[in-house]
Amino acid sequence: MTPEFWLHRWAAGQTGWHHAAPQPALCAHWQRLALRPGAPVFVPLCGASADLVWLADQGHQVLGVELAEVAVQRFFAGQGLVPEVEGNRWRAGPYTLWCGDLFALPPSLWAGCAAVYDRAAWVALPPIERAAYAQAVFGPLAPGAQALLLTLDYDQTQRAGPPFAMPDAEVLGHLAGAWQIERLAREDVLAQEPKFAQAGVTALHESVFHLTRTAP
């Protein structure tokens, strides 16, 4: 997917992936990571997600990367915050959002984070781009870092992405060896995603993974 595709979606208000409330799987499983208070959490392709607020409410410093400036503006305005803007860094309260292309930003920005939260970032990319994403997002993290990863899997012939179907085996293929991978849950969430049902999708499985970095 090109940057222009996503910028157009935000400009046109075509943001069906954006939910007003925190993701239920985040609320249900985040404590499994048992992070220390104040631990920095990286949220790639963060948009204006309510999940950022939920993470901050748990006591975390939240670092996000988002391509669309309109989404960054929308997030801070929604929180009643006036950010300090320095170059492409927007910062206020517990939030630091970098506005730019994830693949063009230096990985050192998030290399020191204790954890990654990925709800709809990896699955937003077609399979041809997923190896590069895995290297960019998960590669810089140090041993001991953790992640909560949410993926979606469905019959791709029933609906075109994004988000794209990502079988559990693909997660293992990209991360096994450097990460300990535990699947915490897998359930059909089609009832919570009516746009998929309207498109003809007959089953939509969400998998939730707890990842722990074990090797550099």
User: What is the domain partition of the chain in residue ranges?
Assistant: 3-13+20-213
State how far the alpha carbon of 137 is from the alpha carbons of 57, 106, 131, 154, in Å. 24, 11, 10, 24
Q: How many residues does the chain have?
A: 216
pLDDT in tens, 112-152: 999 999 998 999 999 999 999 999 999 999 999 999 999 99
Q: What CATH number should be reported for the domain whose range is 3-13+20-213?
A: 3.40.50.150
Give the rounded percent of residues in the chain with a pLDDT score beyond 90: 87
pLDDT in tens, 30-60: 999 999 999 999 999 999 999 999 999 999 9
Confidence of residue 20 (pLDDT cuts 50, 70, 90): confident
Q: Are 34 and 115 in contact, with CB atoms under 8 Å apart?
A: no
Mean pLDDT over 84-98 rounds to: 97
